[in-house]
Amino acid sequence: MNKDRLKEIMLDQKEAFNSTKHLIRRNIPLEKYTKTNQVVIISGIRRCGKSSLLRLIKEDMKLEASDFCYFNFDDERILAEVSILEELFNLHIELYGKEPILFFDEIQNVDNWEKFINRKYEQGVKIFVTGSNAKLLSSEISTSLTGRNKLIELFPFSFSEYLLFHERKYDMDRLTSKSKALLQKDFNTYMQMGGFPLVLKENDTELVNGYFQDILYRDIISRYRLTQVNEIKQIGLYFASNIGKLFSYSTLQNISGVKSLSSIKDYLSYYEHSYLFFYLKKFDYSVKKQIMNSKKVYTADHAFVTRLGFNFSENKGRILENIVYIELLRRGCEVYYYSGNNECDFLIKKGLNIVQAIQVVDQLDKTNYEREYRGLQEVMQTYQIPQGILITNSTETAVFPENKGVERVSVWKWLLSEYGSLL
Q: Tell me the one-letter amino acid at 250.
A: S
Over range 289-302, report the average pLDDT: 94
pTM, 2 dp: 0.94
Which amino acid makes up residue 379?
V
Mean pLDDT for the stretch of residues 77-103: 95
pLDDT at 22 over 70: yes
What's the gap between Cα 148 and its chain centre? 23
Distance CA 153, CA 330 (A): 8
DSSP letter assigned to residue 101: E
Confidence at residue 402, expressed as pLDDT on a 0 to 100 scale: 61
Q: For residue 124, tell me if it sits in a domain.
A: yes
Residues in Cβ contact with 93 at an 8 Å cutoff, skipping those fewer than 6 apart = 99, 100
Contact 164, 298 (CB under 8 A): no
pLDDT over 50 (residue 175): yes
Provide, rounded to the nearest whole percent, the portion of the chain with pLDDT above 90.
78
Residue 322: alpha-carbon gap to chain centroid: 11
Inside any domain, residue 216:
no
| Residue 136 pLDDT grade (very low, low, confident, very high; cuts 50, 70, 90) | low
Q: Look over the chain and give the mean of its residue pLDDT values, rounded to a whole number.
A: 91
Q: What is the average per-residue pLDDT within 193-211?
A: 96
| H-run or E-run covering 346 | strand 343-350
- Asked if residue 105 belongs to a domain, the reply is yes
pLDDT of residue 24: 84
pLDDT-derived band of residue 323, with 50, 70 and 90 as boundaries?
very high
- The residue count for the chain: 423
CA triplet 397, 402, 404: central angle to 5 degrees? 135
Residue 249: predicted pLDDT:
94
- Does residue 265 belong to any structural domain of this protein? no
Res. 422 pLDDT band, cuts 50 70 90 = very low
Q: What is the rounded average pLDDT of the residues 142-169? A: 90
Asked if residue 83 belongs to a domain, the reply is yes
Residue 129 has pLDDT above 90, yes or no: yes
Structural domain includes residue 200: no
Q: How many domains does the chain have?
A: 1
The C-alpha atoms of residue 178 and residue 294 are separated, in whole angstroms, by 44
**Using an 8 Å Cβ cutoff, are 33 and 152 in contact?**
yes
**413 CB-near residues (< 8 Å, 6+ apart):** 172
Domain span at residue 140? 3-154
- pLDDT the model gives residue 399: 52
| CATH number for 122 | 3.40.50.300
Residue 358 CA to residue 377 CA, distance in Å, equals: 10
Provide φ and ψ at 309, rounded to 5°: -75, -170
pLDDT of 393: 93
pLDDT value of residue 205: 95
Q: Is residue 358 part of a domain?
A: no
Q: Is the predicted pLDDT of residue 58 greater than 90, yes or no?
A: yes
Q: Is residue 350 part of a domain?
A: no
What would the mean pLDDT of 71-80 be, rounded to a whole number? 91
For residue 119, the model assigns a pLDDT of 95
For β-strands 68-72 and 343-350, DSSP reports them as unpaired
Q: Are 113 and 137 in contact (CB under 8 A)?
A: no
Instruction: Choose between 171 and 245: higher pLDDT.
Output: 245
Helix (H) or strand (E) holding 129: strand 127-131
